[in-house]
């Protein structure tokens, strides 16, 4: 079940915090509860992704994105993710989450989030996110202008660009049952610049 009460609590707490610039970092603390763990007694990998929502959505609020989404009747969707799990988080462990937007290209915003157990990084994720309207993806330049920061376009870190390039080489549609792509469907490579 989605942690609605925890989610609402994080949104409520973030309302009281200072607004952030687009590249600002939202820091929040969370506790791994018994219902977050898997059969091995540690934070479930899928639940980790859900808990990252508890930092990412309040970040969107603090940078003004939620307000802009509502004003323009836009949506927000995840278009890709790359996750690293490095340290166990067990029941009742406290983690500090850092969430920030690290850049953009023509179509996507790139967000980095990490969970820390003390001074040790436990998990990290890179998200590619798209702002959408009924016609599809809203160009990030229009989003930046709506946020009052039209010149915000920092260079993406090399490791992020390498991930983008690798994703552009990924075959789409994926293979099914270990076989070739569906019959009659060309072997199309995903191009994040096409839409």
Same domain, 100 and 162: no
Task: Please give the tally of structural domains in the chain.
Answer: 2
Same domain, 144 and 168: no
Same domain, 103 and 187: no
pLDDT beyond 70 at 190: no
pLDDT beyond 70 at 193: no
The model's pTM is 0.86
pLDDT beyond 90 at 124: yes
pLDDT of res. 62: 95
Lowest mean pLDDT: which of 1-5, 35-39, 103-107, 163-167?
1-5
Give Cα separations from 181 to 9, 90, 147, 189, 190 (angstroms): 44, 40, 41, 12, 14
pLDDT of res. 185: 46
Same domain, 40 and 21: yes
pLDDT beyond 50 at 191: no
37 vs 8: CA distance, rounded Å? 21
Same domain, 100 and 17: yes
pLDDT beyond 60 at 55: yes
pLDDT beyond 60 at 91: yes
Same domain, 145 and 164: no
Residue 152 corresponds to which tokens in the numbers above? 């915000």
- Please list the residues that pair with 100 across neighbouring strands: 25, 112
Long-range Cβ pairs for the range 133-136 (8 Å, 24+): 133/72, 133/73, 133/74, 133/75, 136/195
User: Which of 123, 115, 127, 117 minimizes the C-alpha distance to 80?
Assistant: 127
- Segment 107-129 shows an average pLDDT of 97
Write the CB contacts of 140 (distance below 8 Å, at least 6 apart in sequence): 104, 105, 106, 107, 108, 109, 131
Determine the structural domain holding residue 24 and report its residue range: 4-156
Same domain, 97 and 9: yes
pLDDT of res. 122: 96
Same domain, 54 and 14: yes
pLDDT of res. 79: 94
pLDDT of res. 189: 44
User: Which of 79, 136, 83 minimizes the C-alpha distance to 108?
Assistant: 79
User: Which of 78, 104, 76, 108 minimizes the C-alpha distance to 192?
Assistant: 108
pLDDT band at 3 (very low <50, low <70, confident <90, very high): confident
Same domain, 121 and 60: yes
pLDDT band at 78 (very low <50, low <70, confident <90, very high): very high
């Amino acid at each position: 079940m989605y942690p609605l009460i925890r989610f609402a609590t994080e949104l409520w707490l973030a309302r009281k915090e200072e607004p952030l610039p687009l590249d600002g970092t939202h820091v929040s603390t969370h506790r791994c509860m018994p219902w977050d763990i898997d059969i091995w007694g540690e934070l479930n990998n899928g639940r980790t992704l859900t808990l990252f929502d508890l930092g990412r959505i309040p970040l969107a609020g603090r940078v003004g994105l939620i307000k802009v989404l509502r004003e323009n009747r836009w949506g927000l969707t995840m278009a890709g993710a790359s996750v690293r799990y490095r340290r166990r988080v067990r029941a009742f462990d406290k983690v500090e989450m850092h969430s920030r937007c690290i850049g953009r290209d023509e179509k996507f915003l790139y967000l980095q989030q990490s969970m820390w157990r003390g001074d040790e990084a436990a998990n990290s994720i890179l998200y590619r996110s798209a702002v959408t309207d009924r016609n599809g993806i809203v160009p990030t330049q229009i989003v930046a202008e709506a946020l009052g920061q039209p010149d915000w376009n920092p260079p993406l870190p090399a490791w992020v660009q390498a991930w983008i390039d690798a994703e552009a080489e990924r075959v789409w549609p994926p293979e099914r049952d270990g076989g070739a792509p569906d019959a009659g469907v060309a072997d199309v490579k995903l191009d994040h610049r096409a839409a």
